[in-house]
Amino acid sequence: MAEPASLRDRLRQLPSVKAEFPYFDTDRAPDEPLALLVEWLEAAIDGGVLQPHAMSIATATVDGHPSNRTLLLKDVDEKSVWFASLSSGPKGLELSENPEAALVLYWREQGRQIRLVGTVEEGPRAVSERDFLQRQPSARARAIAGRQSEPIEDFDLHLRPALKKLEANPDFVPVDWVAYRLSPWSVEFWQAERARDQVRLRYLREHAGWVKDVLWP
């Protein structure tokens, strides 16, 4: 009887995606990277990409210990991409001591990746409040029931009073719910393509504008 393939072999044999991906004409890319990000994001939404707004965001302590997690992209404006979280949790504390962060969006259905590196700051309070109040009641209750990323002692014991608090005051927003904006100084677009294998275009912020370079894959 044949030996079952090792995990290593199974990983090596996984097929690469053979879809007909969009053509990336780097000569026609806009001068502003966030304009291209919005163009690709809308194509991902229109093309039915699953959770196109799920992105990974890496932060680090001042002494260089990194951590990474998935968050939801909340908005994109001319200068920034937005996400929301608790400023009292690990990522919030890291961002308060080291506001540099790196972010990745990957849309496998379209063979596309976007990487951003930039500086994170808290957005206006009104944006954080609107974001929190648009969350499902259960998500709002969880956010105020305990401290994010701390061990749970008794879930129900803490959730019940949180739900009661929100019932009594539906407009309650905890002070540590924060809408953050990341303003990038580097944005790279990566497109898998059959003909050319992969195409990379990087924008680097320089003075008031952006410098574009096509990079070796």
Ligand X SMILES: Cc1cc2nc3c(=O)[nH]c(=O)nc-3n(C[C@H](O)[C@H](O)[C@H](O)COP(=O)(O)O)c2cc1C
Residues making contact with ligand X (CB under 6 A): 54, 67, 69-72, 83-85, 89-91, 148-149
Q: Which is nearer to ligand X, 40 or 83 (CB)?
A: 83
Q: Which is nearer to ligand X, 75 or 193 (CB)?
A: 75
Both structure tokens of 15: 């097929």
**Shortest distance, position 33 Cβ to ligand X, whole Å:** 22
Ramachandran sector of residue 23 (left: φ over 0; alpha: ψ -120 to 50; beta: rest)? beta
**Shortest distance, position 5 Cβ to ligand X, whole Å:** 29
d(CA 203, CA 189): 9
Q: How far apart are the first and last CA of the chain?
A: 42
With a CB cutoff of 8 Å and minimum separation 6, the contacts of 137 are 163, 166
Q: Which is nearer to ligand X, 32 or 176 (CB)?
A: 176
Residue 109, burial from CB neighbour count under 10 angstroms (0-12, 13-18, 19+): middle
**Shortest distance, position 162 Cβ to ligand X, whole Å:** 16
Other CB atoms within 10 A of residue 122 CB: 16
Q: Which is nearer to ligand X, 40 or 132 (CB)?
A: 132
**Shortest distance, position 151 Cβ to ligand X, whole Å:** 12
Q: Which is nearer to ligand X, 69 or 165 (CB)?
A: 69
d(CA 44, CA 37): 10
- Write the secondary structure of 155-210 as one string of H (helix), E (strand) and C (coil): HHHHHHHHHHHHHHCCCCCCCCEEEEEEEEEEEEEEEEECCCEEEEEEEEEECCEE
**Shortest distance, position 104 Cβ to ligand X, whole Å:** 13
**Shortest distance, position 200 Cβ to ligand X, whole Å:** 26
Q: Which is nearer to ligand X, 141 or 199 (CB)?
A: 141
